[in-house]
Structure formats: C-alpha cells, structure tokens
Amino acid sequence: MKNIFKSLFVAVFFLFGSTAFAAAQAGKGYTLLNPAQPVSSKKIEVLEFFFYECSHCFYLHNELAAWEKTMPADVELTFVPTIFRDSTEPLARTFYALESIGKIKQMDDAIYQAIHVKQANLYDLNTIGAFVGSNGVDRSKFSAAYNSFTVNSKVVRAKQMIRSYGINGTPTLVVDGKYAITGLQPADTIRVLNEVIAMVRKSRPAESKTKSK
C-alpha cells in the first residue's frame, strides 16, 4: 500500500511540477518554433506577421513603428501580411504594391487609421485604389503594381511562410527564425522583443556579430 501511495505522489508531483515548469517557460513571453525556420540575413531577423484589419495589430503598430526608428543596427525588420482566407488577400496585395512603388511608409498608418478609426471598408482593388489615390498615391501605378508578377510572387511566398511558420494569429513576431512572440500587450511585446534580440545576439559567435547602435 505504501508503494501505491508513493507512486501516486510521484505521478502527481511530476504532473503539477511539469505544468508549473511550462507556465514558467511561457512567462518569458515567447515560444520556440518547431521546426526553426531558415534566415537569409546576417542580421538578427525580426518578422512581423500582421493583418491590417486585426485590432491587436493596430494597437501594436505605433509602438513597433517607434521601435523601428531606434532599433539596433544589427537587426532587420520585415513585415509579412497574413492571408488566412481569400477575402484577406487584397490588403496583403495592397501592402506589397505600395512597398514596390515606395509608398508603404506614406500609407501604412493611413490604412490602419482608415479601417480602425474611420471604419472604412477596403475590400478590393476598386475601393483600395480610390483610397490610396485620395491620399496622394498615383492610382495607375498602384493598380499596375497590385497585379504585377512581383506582387503575385510575394503573395505566394507570404502564404507559404504562414504555413511553414505555423502562424495562426496576429500580430506574431518571429525572431531569428526560432522565437515567436504573440498574445502580449504592445508594451510587453516590445519588451520581450528586446530581450529575445539580446539573447540571440549573445548566442552568436563573436565574429558574426554586427556592431549595434
């Protein structure tokens, strides 16, 4: 009987002990991608998987934009619009089209504001084209870019990345192809992002590090 109780105690200990350990790990604010994804940059790669209609992306947008202005020189930030269903593809195309004609910095905030503050319905090339045109973007250049081979290729690549990175919610930040940060308040997201970047930098061989600002 003693052995039975002892076995039960050990089982309960490991059950709750492992749960507590998992909670402690989750408390760091990131999860590990399995499998890790390759990175092409020598810099520390930060990807933001986002969706313009996502309210959490809207709240993070200003904090991340401010962070981008002062991010270390050894960090590279790339934005990846998510496409979870066909109806979300037009806004992903919009991002890549504006990026290709050099207007994404001009329009990024305006798109978030239009959707979340002004309740605009930007759902296809006609409505989006009229919107960007009213904000000083050459509508014909935008439309040509929207349907271009380059944008088509980037949309296909974004869809592939969403699958391979296992993205199922936005915003999600992925650092160095290994560490995913999601589900946090904006300020906590930035704090954890800085902590993970510092951790990645420390783990790299000294000769491969780029001097930070």
| pLDDT tens per residue across span 85-104 | 999 999 999 999 999 999 99
Question: In this structure, are 88 and 149 located in the same domain?
Answer: yes
- Give the model confidence (pLDDT) of 116-166 as tens digits: 999 999 999 999 999 999 999 999 999 999 999 999 999 999 999 999 999
Q: Given this model, what pLDDT does residue 205 score?
A: 77
pLDDT band at 2 (very low <50, low <70, confident <90, very high): very low
- Domain span at residue 149 reads 84-166
CA dihedral 158→159→160→164, nearest 10 degrees, is: 100
Q: What is the pLDDT of residue 209?
A: 52
User: Within this chain, do residues 90 and 153 fall inside the same structural domain, yes or no?
Assistant: yes
**Lowest-confidence pick of 5-9, 26-30, 36-40, 178-182:** 5-9
Establish if 11 belongs to a structural domain. no
Residue 152 and residue 118 share a domain: yes
pLDDT band at residue 16 using 50, 70 and 90 as cut-offs: very low
pLDDT in tens, 164-174: 999 999 999 99
210 located within any domain:
no
pLDDT of residue 65: 96
23 domain residue, yes or no: no
With cut-offs at 50, 70 and 90, classify the pLDDT of residue 208: low
Per the structure, the count of domains in the chain is 2
* Residue 6 domain-assigned (yes or no): no
Q: Would you say residue 7 lies in a domain?
A: no
Q: Is residue 22 a part of any domain in this protein?
A: no
| 100 found inside a domain | yes
CA angle 138, 83, 141 (to 5 degrees): 10
Q: What is the pLDDT of residue 112?
A: 98
pLDDT-derived band at 182, boundaries 50, 70, 90: very high
Is 121 in contact with 127 (CB distance < 8 Å)? Answer: yes
Q: What is the CATH number of the domain that holds 188?
A: 3.40.30.10
Q: Are residues 54 and 90 in the same domain?
A: no
Apex CA 99: angle with CA 107 and CA 39, to 5°? 125
User: Token match 């959490």: residue?
Assistant: 56
Is 33 domain-assigned? yes
Helix (H) / strand (E) element for 4: namely helix 2-26
